[in-house]
Amino acid sequence: MTSELILASASASRQMLMRNAGLIFSSIPAEIDERAIDARLEAEGATPETIALELAKAKAIAVSRLHPDAFVIGSDQTMSLGARIYHKDKDMAEAHSNLLSLTGKTHRLNCGIAIAKNNEILWSAVSIAKMTVRDLSDEFVSHYLEKVGSQVLSSVGAYQLEGEGIQLFNSIEGDYFTVLGLPLLPLLAQLRELKLIDG
């Protein structure tokens, strides 16, 4: 690889996905106020897809300003059910309530991704996964949250698909990488296009 590649994130799962794909990169978290950007865009009536994309771009640009010669990857995800946008749960009671609101319904994980260089966005895209939650009883949700513990509060939706969260679902449409927060297939295609990895 001739140019430096930076992931603008501290996310362990995003780093794992990139490492597993054979990418050589640095990880530098973006210093942005995600919730302020999120709130402003929501107030402006932006779609969940647009919010995910704008957050991804904001992360990429923030790190690109500090490392202008590098190619910087930003990624962010929103979770939506119709017009409602979900955020990380504050506590287990909120996680319980939100999981019950998803029961028997199909929600979307909207994953934005962007590449920046020299403080400019070179490419961006949104990948969507449709997640259908099975019919869950109040008792099952209580038992599930008790079993998995407060670590689920670090993920929007209070599920981690790579663990026991898979038991919440009937079906998933979309790729696994999008669900984990990094649309790896379009990213790899773009890195080949930019001649940053072998074609």
What does the alpha-carbon distance between residue 176 and residue 182 come to, in Å, rounded to a whole number?
A: 9
The dihedral sign for the CA sequence 77, 79, 83, 88: negative
Helices (DSSP H) in 30-126: which residue ranges? 34-43, 48-66, 92-102
Give the DSSP H or E segment for 145.
helix 138-148
The residues annotated with a catalytic role in the active site are 76
Burial class (CB in 10 A: 0-12, 13-18, 19+), 92: middle
Those residues whose C-beta lies under 8 Å from the C-beta of residue 15, and which sit 6 or more positions away, are 7, 9, 27
